Amino acid sequence: MEATTKHPNLDFYLGKLPSSPDNQYISDFHNFWRGNYDSLESVHSYIQWLFPLQEPGVNPDASTLTKKEIEEFCQNDTARKHLLESYKLMLDFYGIELCDEETGEVQRASNWENRFANLNRRTHNNLRITRMLKCLGTLGFAHYQAPLVHFFLEETLVNRKLPKVKESVLNYFLFAVLDKKQRRRLLKFAFLNYDDSEEFVWCPKKIQMKWSSLKVSKQLKLEASREDLYDSLDETGYSA
């Protein structure tokens, strides 16, 4: 049953209304749920409250955002501050930390290995991250979207630490980014770092053709750096 107040999502973020069915105020989540990874993993009803959207989620007790709520939320410093804390809470759960509140730049947190392992095991978190990205774009933090997606592209395509997140990054995270220029840059990064053994289907072929020369150049530079390394090993007597 949905909340009956006029602005349930805004009231929740202003500390006037608890979530349902968990009966937690926003301060409870920020003060007691951070680092409580078992609850953050196993409870499924809170994510719609922390990151509301104009589309419904799996919790029937949560309400969809209204246009009026979005307007008021984006103009309310308290609500925005609390949303930022919710973002940090979930980043920590995923083994990530926000290192610049102005730009939205993120990096691995000290707990990344354990949390990445959880992300690879519990793939329903990919849906949560998609919701989180969409919410950031809706409620005034659109500039935070691209840095987080870039982070996941690096960890999936370059570092290859999150294989179970790769499909969601390319199919959903990328296209949640509202800024078209940023989205194109992310697509370009994805293309340049994508495994050639698989077809890249996320942008038109004519755009891929423009980027192909850059990809070849990158591969040549990589091969050249490897050759330089082998030459240096030969000179120091470490060759086979």
Q: Nearest to residue 129, comparing CAs of 21, 115, 218?
A: 115
pLDDT for 222: 57
- Cα–Cα distance list, 33 to 11, 100, 145 (Å): 20, 23, 23
Identity of the amino acid at 8: P
pLDDT at 223: 59
Instruction: For residues 42 and 45, give the distance between their C-alpha atoms in angstroms, rounded to a whole number.
Output: 9
pLDDT of 20? 97
Among all chains, which residue has been given the structure tokens 């053994």? 197
Asked if residues 120 and 169 have their Cβ atoms less than 8 Å apart, the reply is no
55: closest CA among 119, 113, 131, 116?
Answer: 131
* Closest CA relative to residue 63, chosen from 74, 48, 44, 78: 48
H or E stretch at 175: helix 174-176
Q: CB-based contacts of 35: which residues, under 8 Å, 6+ apart?
A: 92
* DSSP character at residue 143: G
Residue-level pLDDT at 239 = 41
pLDDT computed for residue 3 by the predictor: 46
Query: What is the secondary structure of 25-88 as a DSSP string?
Result: -HHHIIIIITT-HHHHHH--SSHHHHS--SS--S-TTS-PPPHHHHHHHHT-HHHHHHHHHHHH
Question: Residue 4: what pLDDT?
Answer: 62
Cα gap 203→192, rounded to integer Å = 12
The position carrying tokens 């072929």 is: 205
Residue 18 DSSP SS3: coil
Q: Are 109 and 88 in contact (CB under 8 A)?
A: no
Angle of CA points 103, 167, 151, to nearest 5° = 20
Average pLDDT of adjacent 10-residue blocks, the chain of 240 residues? 75 98 98 97 97 94 96 98 98 98 98 98 98 98 98 98 98 98 96 87 90 73 57 50
C-alpha triplet 206, 189, 147: angle, nearest 5°: 135
The continuous run of DSSP H or E covering 108 comes out as: strand 106-108
